[in-house]
Chains A and B, each alone.
Chain A
């Protein structure tokens, strides 16, 4: 059952950015997961003290292994340990994968607009990978809002997918530092920039927004004001207070 704590072996650990790491976890009897779900991770200190945090799963295409990508929050309790200390061969405990709402299934037929703020890309990447691996012809469009090009997760894979896939379009917005030769100056995400870079209302997309709480709140609010039906918008908030910068 998904509600029990299970032991996971760390089978890979790869730096994603200067502050983030993608961690592979093998769990006996896992039996797959849906794109968009998350797990809970429990760490236990040597005196029995425990801390639990949620992390989205970044791919749904492996049977007994999960991948998560953790961004280090300076002064955080759990994330610095996962990013800096945890090594291949270590073990930890997980619960899940859980969640039946913020998920995309290969049988869903509507066009899909994904909107990621920073590490909010993680569950959306799982959807992009599941969609790419399926025969599902639905149009996918990703808007990825980033502080700087270096802060992007899954950079090469997204670049390749963006070039090769006819059913995926990727747009980037840079809020502090843009790549060289980029046409726009970096600035706070605005409703105008957002609306110029997503599927229009008449495409009637299913919309998934993920990132820090204020980013998600702000974007969802703009979309509703622009006429996207509230019922078509699904959100996942990672916490924190970070905004649209």
Chain B
């Protein structure tokens, strides 16, 4: 046990098994971004997956929306200590997007409009654990929260769920992305408190 502050009582929420260590529950949806939000009209939007052999799979907004869509109910955990439980999203599973992709790579770099990057190991994107989401709580995803579409990898800290997602590049090595080069953990598992590097 750490240093005890006798005058501190706090608001106990840690009894909730849905909360990873060091997280507290919030009802609001705070916004955290390194800079201003880019503006991407859906008719200019594209999502790509590129492989080590130079192959490029790409979807326009219309072809993306024609893919099977899923409703996702999940908790999200931000590295700044808030968690939001029971959120609802709609989007396309990365399993669907990766169906025709041939690769031997084990890592990926997610690229966003505006230049943001974040690295995620490929196994973390597959197996029904990651999506490209475009709806939040029944409404089109707001621009401040990454609209028109963002990556959703809720089992990792939320900075991995890249807003304004543009595409995923498969990589041989685990290369640090934006926050990962700025003091944050290379992997980011909230249950292991992988916050900082």
Residues of A within 8 A of B (CB): 2-3, 5, 7, 40, 42-46, 48-54, 77-78, 81, 85-86, 90-93, 95-96, 98-102, 213, 217, 220-221, 223-224, 230-231, 233-235, 237, 239, 241
Contacts and interface: CB of A to CB of B under 8 A. Distances in A.
B27 to A, nearest CB: 11
* Contact size range, B: 35 or more
A81 B14 contact: no
B197 A3 contact: yes
A100 B196 CA distance: 11
Contacts of A5: 2
B156 to A, nearest CB: 17
A234 B10 contact: no
A239 B81 CA distance: 11
Contact of A77 (B4, B7, B11, B34): B11
A98 B12 contact: no
Given A46-B4, A52-B22, 13 more contacts: A2-B183, A5-B2, A40-B81, A43-B10, A45-B4, A77-B11, A81-B7, A86-B5, A91-B3, A95-B196, A221-B37, A224-B36, A237-B32
A216 to B, nearest CB: 8
Contacts of A42: 2, 22
Contacts of A220: 35-37
Nearest to B181: A100
B121 interface: no
Given A3-B195, A100-B182, A237-B30, A231 B10 contact: no
Given A49-B12, A49-B14, A50-B22, A235 B35 contact: yes
Interface of B: 1-12, 14, 22, 24, 28, 30-38, 80-82, 114-115, 144, 178-179, 181-183, 195-197
Contact of A54 (B2, B11, B80, B183): B80
Contacts of A224: 36
Given A230-B114, A237-B30, A239-B30, A85 B35 contact: no
A93 B196 contact: no
A50 B4 CA distance: 9
Tell me the dominant secondary structure on chain B's binding face: loop
Contact of A45 (B10, B34, B38, B144): B10
For the complex of A and B, the 9 pairs showing the least CB-CB separation, nearest first, are A100-B182, A220-B36, A85-B7, A3-B196, A101-B182, A44-B2, A91-B3, A43-B8, A100-B183
A48 B14 CA distance: 10
Nearest to A47: B12
Nearest to B33: A235
B1 A48 contact: yes
Contacts of A43: 5, 8, 10
Contact of B183 (A92, A98, A230, A233): A98
A54 B3 CA distance: 18
Contacts of B14: 49-50
Given A3-B197, A231-B35, A237-B32, A85 B8 contact: yes
Contacts of B115: 231
B92 to A, nearest CB: 27
